[in-house]
Amino acid sequence: MQQNDSPVIGSRLVFHFGGYDPVSPTKTYLRFIRQLERFRQTWSVKSSASAPLVATDRAKWGILSEGPNWRVETDHQLFRWDDIMAGYAVRSVWWRLPMGLLAFADFVVGGALWGYARTNWRYALFFLYPYLLLLMMVLTSFYAGELAAGTTGSIAFGILAGVLAFIAFYLGPGRWTYLPIALDDWIFSRAYIRGRDPELERRLDVVADEIIAADSARAVDEILLLGHSLGAVLAVEALDRALRRRPDLGSSGPRLALVTVGSSILKIGLHRSAVRLRDALARVSRSPSLVWVEYQALTDIMNFYKTDPVRDCGLQSTGRPIVRLVRIRHMLEAASYRRIRRNPYRVHCQFVSGNECRAVYDYFMFVCGPLSAEKQTRLHEGAASAIGDNGRLLHVAARLLTQANE
């Protein structure tokens, strides 16, 4: 059986790898449902999702999306690692602080900070942010303690006042500025590079087996792995495991696509010790049957804008991924964008949220839409140039896509 070369998709299997955000799968599903409403309104389509089935390593639900002349059934599989992240979140501040400082030292000594400054200075600032914030808290607490000691004449009281001031800063402004989760993110990233979590390894192996099984079954038109933020690293890891077992994966049957958005691949890959990830990147980028596209945005400080994650890791460039630069402001109404533009986390999450405007990149079009990932990638305006005002798949666009594929 030859690979399905039609640009129109009728069924799709999606493996979604989320970033470092310890949110339960139930909350993730509810967020998905809210954003699905935006998809329906923006594209004038029908779309509904089934109730989620939650397991230890996965949460899944079905999605049925329809336009006047197309229908897509999506099997949406959410890769779970929220419980692994939760294990870091419950640790005390007295564990988090030394481990966070150790992570800082490791990423500096390992050359990652220099790599961030070289490839994208904004990301270097993102890396420094929690540590600069922590330094400000320490200095302010020190001066508060010094003031208390000078006022009372008691060094012991000054030390107590300084410690209490630091705790107050950590529990107040620290929480509001995402300091604990930012430190946990870097602590996890160091642990990921330096060692392997047996449970995470097991889950990646399971997903790899399922990708192979879906490719062999040929029951869907497209297999799509979508990795957001640090989830892009996990998506590459899972696909690499599948390719090592089946080098011809994607050569026949379903289309095979990897979409990385708001990616943190270079966050890990630029560390001198991230040999395993760089090996995986080399294999994935050389796979002839894989379509890999990476979407990057300037206003998202948590991704690496205008970079090639393969080339910038010091690997031979293969033309994969296809890098497309997009603008978050084009995805939202002006008022909505003004509300979120000063919230880096919310801007970062727009890559996996519903758009209010038709744009080059649309998360739900990749998950639920009638065009393959490759065709959406290669169209200059993405799906926006192929879907009519009433949600209809334009025949002219379909013909152009077919001709471009010949």
Tens digits of pLDDT across the chain (406 residues): 345 567 899 999 999 999 999 999 999 999 999 999 999 999 999 999 999 999 999 999 999 999 999 999 999 999 999 999 999 999 998 899 999 999 999 999 999 999 999 999 999 999 999 999 999 988 988 888 888 888 888 888 788 887 888 888 778 776 778 899 999 999 999 999 998 789 999 999 999 999 999 999 999 999 999 999 999 999 999 999 999 999 999 998 899 999 999 999 999 999 999 999 999 999 999 999 999 999 999 999 999 999 999 999 999 999 999 999 999 999 999 999 999 999 999 999 999 999 999 999 999 999 999 999 999 999 999 999 999 999 999 864 555 445 444 4
Q: Which of 103, 398, 390, 100 is nearest to 273 (CA)?
A: 103
* pLDDT for residue 344: 93
> What pLDDT is recorded for position 186?
97
What is the helix (H) or strand (E) element at residue 48, kind and residue range?
strand 46-49
In this prediction, residue 396 carries a pLDDT of 47
User: Distance between CA atoms of 114 and 108, rounded to whole angstroms?
Assistant: 7
Distances (CA, A) of 28 to 54, 79, 88: 11, 11, 19
Query: H or E segment at 224?
Result: strand 222-228
**31-61 as b/e: b if 16+ CB within 10 A:** ebeebbebbbebbebebebeebeeeebbbbb
Q: Positive or negative, the Cα torsion across 306, 310, 311, 314?
A: positive
φ/ψ of residue 304, rounded to 5: -105, 100
At residue 277, the pLDDT reads 97
Residue 202: predicted pLDDT: 95
Question: What pLDDT was estimated at residue 173?
Answer: 77
* DSSP state letter for 197: -
How long, in residues, is the chain? 406
Contacts of 143 (CB under 8 A, 6+ apart): none
Query: With contact defined as beta carbons under 8 Å apart, do 140 and 165 qualify?
Result: yes
Per-residue pLDDT, 282: 97
DSSP letter assigned to residue 253 = S
Distance CA(319)–CA(93), nearest Å, equals 44
Which ranges constitute the DSSP H helices of 218-360? 231-245, 265-269, 275-286, 334-340, 344-349
**What pLDDT was estimated at residue 171?**
80
**Which pLDDT score is estimated for 155?**
84
372 near 7, Cβ under 8 Å? Answer: yes
Q: Say if CB 53 and CB 59 are below 8 A apart.
A: yes
Strand duo 58-67 + 70-79: pairing? antiparallel
82 and 76 Cβ atoms separated by less than 8 Å = no
Contact of 250 with 41, CB cutoff 8 Å = no
With beta carbons less than 8 A apart as the criterion, state whether 303 and 264 touch.
Answer: yes
Residue 83: its H or E element: helix 82-89
